[in-house]
Amino acid sequence: MANVAVVGAQWGDEGKGKIVDWLSERADVVARFQGGHNAGHTLVISGVTYKLSLLPSGILRPGKISVIGNGVVIDPWALVAEIDKLKGQGVAISRENLRVANNATLILPLHRELDQLREAAAGAGKIGTTGRGIGPAYEDKVGRRAIRVNDLADLANVGIKIDRLLSHHNALRRGLGQPELKHSDVLDSLREIAPQILPYADAVWALLDEQRRKGNRILFEGAQGILLDIDHGTYPFVTSSNTVASQAAGGVGVGPSAVNYVLGIAKAYTTRVGSGPFPTEQDNEIGERIGQRGREFGTVTGRKRRCGWFDAVLVRQAIKTSGIQGIALTKLDILDGFDEIKVGVGYELDGKRIDMFPVAEEAQKRVVPVYETLEGWKGTTANARSWSALPAQAIKYVRYLEELIECPVALLSTSPERDDTIMVRDPFAD
């Protein structure tokens, strides 16, 4: 049975939640492999809106196992709140359908506070984080001083780990003019949350190995987008983890051969939240129109997203760095009614034409997009479920994007509703 990894091919917010939910009908396990509760997914099912941050989108499918892998940094209080909210919407959540990696790193209140303090202190140099402690938690993970899920089961021996953690954080807090944290306060917070998290804790790598041996299908769910990857994104305006598809294996504890197909998600236009370069941004009436029609506000933060035309150079680059084999193109319906639609097909940098996004931060600021202009369409693509229901110019637009990004469109989404999807190629068929 084929296993599929789903990754964002832009700066996140591409509509991964709906696509993963749609694909999860064909999967047995949905596994989240990186990021934290800074990533949000909005799903609309039978008119009901569900907002997810840490929980895999498969949690809304009865009979599926949802997994939060070791590559995720977990705010246990945020996870409990999310579980409680979904239960209030009638979603059944228990150990039967949710497992959390026992070797995953925890985000503590001290991480959130440090994140916000450093952003405030950076002034004009701020990166635009969500302030949820994601970066500081990943720093502690690689610094080998993190508190992990399994530590919640052995609080009698966690004291030395708290001391090691606070020796680092209290030094930072002194430098920022903040009071030091107390060992007892950190321990009390862990003692309070432990009973609510431990029922879900498991050796996720062993669970997934068992599922693979049974021949069950696994859907690997990424967060954010490839352009926010710590190595391959628009550094330093990136997230603190690897968002590329290769992280799917390491982020849950399986070998790379477990991933058989990589599906990238891309909007029919481009959006970005927070600071950083955005060559095709439309800070004008066009951007406002796209943003209003697409309801472009962050699921987690509520921040208004920056909007612009499709950037084929960046998506093509994302496809190559992540081994994407097919694209799910979302929100095509938002472009309905435009007289003309532009596509970024290249850049000019200091008067020279280039066909890739430069790695240097200063060069990224100077690139000027080169556009091709296509005729728009007057008909509607909204709610279409077959190619024959699409206007001819909309089909021409999709085919042109395929040519530019050097990758086929495997799925086409035409509304937030689960079933308003055109499947060109079933990713699980490989």
> Which residue of the set 13, 21, 333, 420 is catalytic?
13
User: Which residues, 6+ apart, have CB-to-CB distance to 56 below 8 Å?
Assistant: 20, 30, 31, 32, 66, 67, 68, 221
Q: Is 41 tagged catalytic?
A: yes
User: Which residues, 6+ apart, have CB-to-CB distance to 257 below 8 Å?
Assistant: none
How far is the C-alpha of 184 from the C-alpha of 159, rounded, in Å? 9
Asked whether the beta carbons of 202 and 102 are under 8 A apart, the reply is: yes
CA-nearest of 424, 229, 255 to 322 is: 229
How far is the C-alpha of 372 from the C-alpha of 391, rounded, in Å? 20
CA dihedral 310, 311, 316, 318 (to 10 degrees): -100
How far is the C-alpha of 379 from the C-alpha of 389, rounded, in Å? 10
How far is the C-alpha of 336 from the C-alpha of 347, rounded, in Å? 26
> Which residue of the set 21, 28, 37, 41 is catalytic?
41
Q: Which two tokens stand for residue 358?
A: 């430069």
Neighbour count for residue 105 (Cβ, 10 Å) = 22
**What does residue 55 show for φ and ψ, rounded to 5 degrees?**
-70, 135
Helix/strand/coil percent split, the chain, to 5: 40, 20, 40
Catalytic (active-site) positions = 13, 41
